[in-house]
Amino acid sequence: MKKKGKLRLLVVDDHPALRAGLVTIINGQPDMQVIAEAGDGINALTLFRVHHPDIVLLDLRLPGLEGAEVLEAMKQDSPDCRVVVLTTFDGEHDISRVLRAGAQAYLLKDAPTEELLGAIRAVSAGQRHIPPLVAVRLADHMTHGELTPREVDLLQQLVHGRSNKEIAAHLNLAEETIKAYMKGLFAKLGVVDRTQAAIRGLQRGVVHLD
């Protein structure tokens, strides 16, 4: 049963040991308690709809549904829900997507316990918590600009090592069209070749290695 005045949290992470550690830390606080925990995106949504937690502590890389998709679905269900993203990903594309979707805080998993607890309390109070490193990444994203869905697709093909000819066949486009798209992609990423583009795309979190 919920104790009066305690923040009620849903913890979502697919690593059982890490999730257990988070639960122990949170339940050790006098003003917080974990009311549910999930190891995948679909179960997270189910528990969110059942328990209506005050705060959701959400990882991004989840089986079933990606964390960003879970966040977007939660916000559709309950626009005022409060979400703290806790992840290993610091690419500006990841950061930008979840902040646009409505996350109030974005922390990396190596953040000190005190910072995590402070972020939870800040979000509960209606504030946002964006650490300096994350803010720098986000500013970098704003400087370079958004990639179009087509450019993201091209970048994913580059990460998999496919040639322009192979990409053209995959997208059902002329090879010269692919070359033109590549030129624009390189300009947006601030790179001069395919290898640099793939590396930059991974660094920015635009694409991920499966």
pLDDT at 3 over 50: no
In the chain, where are the structural domains located?
7-141, 147-204
Task: Please give the pLDDT value at position 110.
Answer: 86
CATH number of 7-141: 3.40.50.2300
| pLDDT tens-digit map of 118-137 | 999 999 999 988 877 666 65
Query: Helix 132-144 and helix 194-204: axis angle, to 10°?
Result: 140
pLDDT at 8 > cutoff 90: yes
pTM of the model: 0.66
**Helix orientation angle between 41-51 and 67-77, rounded to the nearest 10 degrees:** 20
CATH class for the domain made up of 147-204: mainly alpha
For the segment 165-184, the average pLDDT, to the nearest whole number, is 86
Q: Do 157 and 194 meet the contact criterion of CB atoms below 8 Å apart?
A: no
Alpha carbon 177 to chain centroid distance? 32
Dump pLDDT digits (tens) for 69-113.
999 999 999 999 999 998 886 566 677 778 888 899 988 888 899
CA dihedral defined by 48, 112, 107, 143, rounded to 10 degrees? 170
Strand 55-58 to 82-87 pairing: parallel
Residue 42 in this model has a pLDDT that exceeds 90:
yes
